Structure formats: structure tokens, C-alpha cells
Chains A and B, each alone.
Chain A
Amino acid sequence: MKNMKLNRNARKNFITYGLVIAAYAILQTMSVTGSISSSLRGMLVPICAYVVMAVSLNLTVGVLGELSLGHAGFMSVGAFTGVTAAMALQNTVPSPTLRLCIGMVTGAVFAAIAGVLIGIPVLRLKGDYLAIVTLAFGEIIKSIINNLYVGVDENGLQMSLLTNKLALADGGKVIISGPMGITTIEKLSTFTAGFILVMLTLFIVFNLVNSRSGRAIMAIRDNRIAAESVGVNIVKYRLMAFVTSAALAGAAGTLFAMNYSTIIANKFDFNTSILVLVFVVLGGLGNMLGSIIAAAALTILPEALRQFADYRMLIYAIVLILVMLITNNPTLKGYLDVAKGKLTGAGKKPVPQTTEGGAGNE
């Protein structure tokens, strides 16, 4: 029994890896041969960033079972620190790829530090209280970065808060300029870098979930008191999941920011946190492949709806409601099970569920 379950998990994980690789191969080929629209090509990197955001938030929400409403805050920390690092090293590290890597690692490290700092007080709470406090921390991060000024000259990095008090030597440049954010980002992010980050994220998350620690984390989710009674260190494992999630969000933030020439702190507000949460909920809690598909689909959807002009966001909202309803409708699920049964020959699940629903309706 136990063996079978493990195999199923492993198979599912490999399917996820396979689908991501296949999607990358197809899109990259199309991109190189020039057979995709500029519109879709422009969205490839943001999709990768949102996929990483969704998968990492799924670790907190789906695996750890705590609702976090401040995930964009970590993305913001990663974006600003990562870009700052990459820009400060512009003259010392000539290779753009290496600078992007350093940027992402820096972003991840700083986001992880933020995760620890926030996690220590936050993880003493649970449920709604935790959700509200993470929301508050997301806003605090936004406010701090909105008032932060960072510059670089030959003496190294300088920073000031509230007003621009930087006294830069000749040849120095301002990197973060308060509410204007960073305006001169060199666009280093590529689809390949995004793909590698997605694969790395999946690797980290799958291995964490399938490890001893992962089982401890899920035990805490399922029954905190029972887990505590058998000696699981609650704070340690909750912090582990939370910080891993924050670090991955930080790397995603750097990837995202490096795809645009400008980034402002207000971009990473409550709405962005909710957007990522929508990806997770739509894809299914704890379901990584679902998160990936939801993130990709919901990033493309508003752009695909551009032809509806003024009604675009209305249709987007309606589609969102319909998808949420349909995926939770037992009757429709029954029909799909039947279809699946026919496709695979012998259905694993018993069919009667459908007829039951059908009879009730008639």
C-alpha cells in the first residue's frame, strides 16, 4: 500500500517535470523560428515568474496549510535586492548570465532573511490571524521600499531612507529611487533562465514534500496537536516551509524584475498577492501541476481577451467564476470521470456517482 502511494507520487512528479520540459521545448522552438506572436513571447518570462510564485505559495498554503496574503512582499524583496546586486556588479562581472544568477541568488537570500524575520512572529499565529499579519507585512515591505534610496559609486553601495540623501561620487548612479523604483534595469531575464528556475523550484518543492521534513510539515497541517504530541518540532518545520517559500518567491521576483526596464514597489501590492493565491486555489491546494497550469493560463487569459476591448476584465472575471464553479461541480466531475473511464478503457473509479447525480436532476 505504502509502496504504491510513493510510486504514484513519483509518477505524478515526473509527469509534471515532463510537461514543463515539453512546454519549454515547444515554445522555445517556436520562439527561435519566430512563429509565435510578440505578445506571447513577451509573456514567457512573466509566466515563468508567476509559475514559481504559485508553486512556492502552494508550499505555504497547500502543504503547510496556512493562508499567506503577503507573498508579493517576498517577491518585492527579491526583485529589488536582486536587481540592485546585478546592477552594482555591472562593471565587475562582465557575463550577463552570471550577473542574473548572482541577482537571483541574492534575491532568494534576502527574501529568505525577510521570511525568517517575518516568520518568527507570524508563525506563532494560525488561521485568519496569520493571514492578516502576513498581509500587514506585505504592506510594510511595500512602504519601506517606496521610501528607500540606494545608489552605487566606486566606494560601494549607499542608502538612505525617506528622502534622497545620497552623496554619490562622480560616475556613481542611483539604483533604487523611492517611489520611482528602479528605472534603468538591464533586461537580463530569458525564457531559458525562467525555465531553469521553474525546474529548480519544482525539484526543491517535490523533494521537500517527499522528505521526512515534508511529512512532518503535512502532519502539522493535518493535525497540529497530534503532530506536537509525537514530538514534531512545530516552529522549526513551519518556519522551514515558510522560508523556502519566501526564498523561491525572491528568486522569482528577480527574474520578473529583470524582464522589465523598470520596477516599482507598488507593483507588489495586495493585488499581486491575491493574484498568486488565485493561481494556487484554482490549480488546487497542494497540486503543483495545477498551480503551473493555472498561473500560465491566467497570465495569458487577459491578453488573449484584448479583442474584447472594454469588456476584457469583465469577461476575465466571468471566466474565473465559471472555472471555479465548474471545477467544483460534482455533476460535471461525474461526467468527466465517465469520459475518462471510456478513454482509459477500464476506469479506476466507480462510475455510479454520475448516475446518482443524473437521477437526482431528473
Chain B
Amino acid sequence: MKRTTKKLLSFVMVLTMLMSLCSVFALADEGEAFKIGGTGPLTGGAAIYGNAAANGAQIAVDEINAEGGIQFELKYEDDAHDAEKAVNAYNALKDWGMQISLGSVTTAPCNATSAETFNDRIFALTPSASAVTVTDGKDNQFQMCFADPNQGSASAQYIFDQDLGSKIAVIWKNDEDYSTGIRNTFVEKAEELGLEIVSETTFAAGNDTDFTVQLTEAQNAGADLVFLPMYYQPASLILSQAAAMGYEPKWFGVDGMDGILTMEGFDPAMAEGVMLLTPFNADAEDERTQAFVAKYQELYDEVPNQFAADAYDCVYAYKQALEAAGATPDMSAEEINDLMMEQFTSMTFDGLTGEGMTWDATGAVSKSPKGMVIQDGAYVGL
């Protein structure tokens, strides 16, 4: 009986091995277009970010290819927001012949893939993996988004400068590096500036549906501004539960909050008056943003969030750098890597998520965050 099982299993294994070999031989012709690859959570709990980035990048690639001139071929592989799967996805992209990388969309997978791209000397520009560890000590890893510490301290600075609140409460997710990273630098900067933090409460994956304890504590402490360094799903629950208990402080969020207005089943009226720092505003008046938003809505039937805009900018930044360096698609990944490192540290780039962006040698971007407030279900510049 057991032998039967064994035979069947070995058959399945042989089949899978053959399939994995097939994918190796299916390499496309080289030399026509630059092969850009990226990994992101196209499935699973963080899929909204991965798909947004993949869609945004695809729009940019289609636009650039239609212009003639420099040509791109884009491939996104699913990493399900997991470091192990991200490395697998990265290896699959390497087999495909990737020459330049868009890193990974989320932080933990990008920590893993950035070490791989660093070792393999493939240049990577991540749209949205915001931890410092992604670029730290790796000379060919660059970011299109703000690093977490910048966001935390920029938020504290902003609250201080605009005198938005005197008693601040912070609710953060203590098992997530994104949330913890921003909270740490926020608290540090707030102390430095003399902002008073009256309540600090946490939650974690698995107990992120009921926030009455955290909100009651903030309310009892008399907080008039609540800082929410987190993604939009828990934030949406916090907002609606606070409304239900009649607690109405000022709310201040971070770029992960972007997307709350388009979330299914969420009443945008709840988010009225929420302030956040985000580099991208889908309601901006300028022509490029409007064209991008219109295109995105036409193709994917939703308003693009910051992740889509970041990925879109990444592809255009690559275009600008490749053109300036005179790179050709027949170059190896390593040759392109050296050219890109030179270009990115010297060029200035204008994109949807900021004007006059520059990168320093550590790979961190320098652009100014835009303060936004939600009014009548739309972002308005502060």
C-alpha cells in the first residue's frame, strides 16, 4: 500500500521537475528590449500593493514602448509577501534573463531580494519597500519611496510645524516592521521637538479587528491627535470604531493609509478630516498625473494609489537613466548595473510622486512629502 503511494509520488515529482526544466528552456530572444523584472504580492493579504505596482509599471512600459526608441519588457512574479517565495520568484526572473530589477514591492521580501540583487550585481530600484535595511550597505539598491525613518520624523515635524495637536496618541502594529519603523522615529522626533505623547497602544496580526481598548485609552488620556502609522485596513476599522464611540480627535496617517478611500465597504465619510503625508495625489491638477489616473481607471477600473505611481515613476526613471547612459539591451546585467549606479547618483528626475528627485549614494531618495487632508471623499493638499 505504501509502495503504491511512493510510486505515485515519485511520478508527481518527476513531472514537476520536468515542468521546471521546461520553463528554463522557454527563454525569449535577447537583444531587443531591456528586461525589467520585479517581485510583489500579486496574491494574498498584501495583493493590493503588488498588483497596483505591477499595473503602474505596465502602463509606463506600454507608454514607452509605444513611443518607439527605448524598449522594455516587463515581468512581475508573485512573492505572496514572503521572503522565501520572493527569492524563488527572483530566481525565476533570473532564469528569464532579467537585466534590471524593480526589487520587491513590500519590505520583508525586498530585504531578501536586495541581498540577492546585490550579490548578483543586478541594479534594483524598488518602488515601495521603505525600510532602511533594504538599501543599507548595498551600493546598487535604490528606493523610489521615502525610507521609514524619514516618514516618522517628517510626520512629527509636520505636526509640530502646523501645530496640529498638543496631546498625541499613537496606535501601532508591533509585529510589522513598517509600522514599528515609523513609530520609532516618530516618537524619537516628537520627544526631540517636545511634543507630548500621552498614549501608546499596540496591536498585532490576529487581534487587529477590535480597537476599542486602544481608542478608549487614547480618549481617557485626552489625546486630541491620534497618529496611525499603519496600512489602511486596520486604519479603516479604527476610524469607524472611533466614530461609533463618539471619539473625534484629529487623525494623522502615513503613506500606507493611501487607498482607504477606494476600499470596498468603507464609507469615505468616516475618513473625513484625516491627514496624511503621501508623495502622490490622484486628484492633482497636473497633466501627467491626470493622464496616468485616466489610463489606470480605464484599464483596471480603480483609482491608482501611491504604489502604482511609484512603480510608474521607477520605469520612467530607468528610461531616463538608460538613455543618458547610452545603454543598449544587449549589455549584460552587470554592465547596466555599473552605468545605473553612476546615473542614479547624479541625475535629477521629475515624476508623478515628486519633482526634482535625487538619490544619494546610500540609495535613499530625496523628495518632499506632500501633506494631504481628506475632504468630501478626496485628497486635498494641506
A37 and B9 in contact, given A180-B181, A184-B133, A340-B3 (Cβ under 8 angstroms): no
Q: Are A178 and B180 in contact (CB under 8 A)?
A: yes
Bound complex: CA A39 to CA B94 (Å): 8
> Is B62 interfacial (CB-CB < 8 Å)?
no
| A50 CB, min distance to chain B CBs, angstroms | 10
| Minimum distance in angstroms from A332 CB to a CB of chain B | 8
B177 is contacted by which of A179, A296, A297 (Cβ under 8 Å)? A179
Chain B hits for A139, CB < 8 A: 206
- With A37-B95, A265-B175 in contact, do A180 and B133 touch (Cβ < 8 Å)? yes
Of the candidates B6, B42, B43, B91, which one forms a contact with A42 in the assembled complex, judged by CB atoms under 8 Å apart? Answer: B91
**Interface mask (A42-69 → B, CB under 8 Å = 1, otherwise 0):** 1100100000000000000000000000
- In addition to A262-B133, A297-B16, A306-B89, 19 A-B residue pairs with Cβ atoms within 8 Å of each other are A37-B24, A37-B91, A38-B91, A39-B24, A39-B91, A39-B92, A40-B17, A162-B174, A179-B175, A283-B9, A284-B5, A287-B5, A290-B6, A293-B9, A296-B13, A300-B17, A304-B20, A306-B78, A323-B9
- Which range contains the number of B residues in contact with the other chain? 35 or more
A13 to B277 Cα, complex, angstroms: 62
A19 to chain B, nearest CB (A): 9
A327 at the interface (CB under 8 A from B): yes
Q: Which residues of A contact B87 (CB under 8 A)?
A: 42, 260
CB B302 to nearest CB in A, in angstroms, measures 17
CA distance A300 to B180 in the complex (A): 34
Asked if residues B174 and A146 are in contact (CB atoms below 8 Å), the reply is: yes
Residues from chain B with a CB closer than 8 A to the CB of A326 are 8
Determine, out of B108-116, B330-338, B355-363, the stretch whose residues face the partner at the interface: B108-116
A294 and B9 contact, Cβ closer than 8 Å, known pairs A46-B84, A304-B23, A333-B4:
yes
Distance between B154 CB and nearest chain A CB, rounded to angstroms: 20
B10:A293 contact, CB within 8 angstroms:
yes
Smallest distance from the beta carbon of A36 to chain B beta carbons, Å?
A: 8
Contact: A41 with B91, CB < 8 Å?
yes
Decide yes or no whether A112 CB sits under 8 A from chain B.
Answer: no
15 contacts between A and B (CB under 8 A): A37-B24, A42-B91, A46-B84, A146-B175, A164-B184, A180-B177, A260-B84, A260-B87, A262-B108, A262-B133, A264-B83, A284-B2, A301-B16, A303-B20, A340-B7
Q: Is A310 located at the chain interface by the 8 A CB criterion? A: yes
B24 partner residues in chain A, CB cutoff 8 A = 37, 39
Q: How far is the CB of B69 from chain A (nearest CB, A)?
A: 29
Complex CA–CA separation, A185 to B53 (angstroms): 28
Task: Please tell me which one of the listed residues A261, A289, A296, A306 contacts residue B112 in the complex, with CB atoms under 8 A apart.
Answer: A261
The answer on a CB contact under 8 Å between A143 and B5 is no
- Contact B9 A290, beta carbon cutoff 8 Å: yes
CB within 8 Å: A-B pair count: 160
Contact partners of B92 in chain A: CB under 8 A:
38-39, 303, 306
From the candidates A37, A41, A146, A181, name the one contacting B204 in the complex (CB within 8 A): A146
Q: How far does the alpha carbon of A296 sit from the alpha carbon of B17 in the complex, in Å?
A: 10
B residues near A305, Cβ cutoff 8 Å: 19
Closest chain-A Cβ to B116's Cβ sits at a distance in Å of 8
Q: Give CA–CA (A197, B234) in the complex, Å.
A: 42
Q: Is A221 an interface residue (CB 8 A)?
A: no
What 1/0 flags go to A251-273 for Cβ under 8 Å of B? 00000000011111111000000
Residues facing A in B45-89 (CB within 8 A) are 77-78, 82-85, 87-89
Query: Within the complex, what minimum Cβ distance (angstroms) separates A298 from chain B?
Result: 9
Distance, CA A146 to CA B21, complexed state (A): 38
B373 to chain A, nearest CB (A): 30
Q: Which of A162, A260, A287, A303 contacts B2 (CB 8 A)?
A: A287
CB <8 Å contact, A310 and B133 = no
Contacts of B325 in A (CB 8 A): none
- With A39-B24, A39-B95, A180-B133 already in contact, the answer to whether A336 and B8 are too (CB < 8 A) is yes
Interface string of A294-320 (1 = CB under 8 A from B): 101100111111110110110000010
Q: Does A28 contact B (CB under 8 A)?
A: no
A37 touches B78 (CB 8 A): no
Question: A323's contact among B12, B21, B177, by CB below 8 Å, is which?
Answer: B12
Complex: A309 Cα to B17 Cα, angstroms:
18
Q: Which residue of B lies closest to A162 (CB)?
A: B174
In the bound complex, what is the Cα–Cα distance between A39 and B22 (angstroms)? 12
Task: Tell me whether B28 is interfacial, beta carbon within 8 Å.
Answer: no
Bin the interface of chain A by size.
35 or more
Interface residue? A282 (CB, 8 A): yes
Known contacts A37-B20, A39-B20, A290-B9: does B88 contact A262 (CB below 8 Å)? no
Q: Is the CB of A143 within 8 A of B204?
A: yes
Which residues on B sit within 8 Å (CB–CB) of A303? 20, 88, 92
**In the complex, B176 has a CB within 8 A of chain A:** yes
A310 to B19, CA, bound (A): 17
Contact call B177/A300, Cβ cutoff below 8 A: no
Which single member of B77, B111, B137, B204 contacts A262 (CB below 8 Å)? Answer: B111
B19 cross-chain contacts in A, Cβ below 8 A: 304-305
A282–B174 alpha-carbon span in the complex (Å): 36
Contact B9–A297 (Cβ < 8 Å): yes
Which partner residue on chain B sits nearest A349 by CB separation?
Answer: B1
Q: Provide the bound-state CA to CA distance between A287 and B4, in Å.
A: 12
Using a CB-CB cutoff of 8 Å, which residues 151-191 of chain A contact chain B? 162, 164, 178-181, 183-184, 187
Contact present for A327 and B205 (CB under 8 Å):
no
B311 at interface (Cβ–Cβ under 8 A)? no
In the assembled complex, A31 has its CB within 8 A of some CB on chain B = no
In this assembly, does B131 line the interface, its C-beta being within 8 Å of a C-beta of chain A? yes
B9 CB contacts on chain A under 8 angstroms:
282-283, 290, 293-294, 297, 323, 327
Query: Is the beta-carbon distance between A300 and B13 smaller than 8 angstroms?
Result: yes
Contacts of A261 in B (CB 8 A): 111-112, 114-116
Instruction: Tell me the complex Cα distance, A39–B85, Å.
Output: 11
Contact A179/B176 with A37-B21, A261-B112, A266-B205 known, Cβ cut-off 8 Å: yes
How far, in whole Å, are A277 and B180 apart by their CA atoms in the complex? 32
Most buried by B among A37, A143, A183, A265: A183
Chain A residue numbers with a CB within 8 Å of B10 are: 293
Report B187 CB to chain A, min CB distance, Å.
Answer: 9
Residues of B contacting A294 in the complex (Cβ-Cβ under 8 angstroms): 9
Interface centre among A184, A260, A312 (most CB of B within 10 A): A260
Question: Which residues of chain B come closer than 8 Å to A313, judged between CB atoms?
Answer: 43
Residues of A with C-beta under 8 A to B84: 46, 260, 267
**Residues of chain B with a CB closer than 8 A to A213's CB:** none
Looking at A179, A267, A294, A300, the one whose CB has the most chain B CB atoms below 10 A away is A179
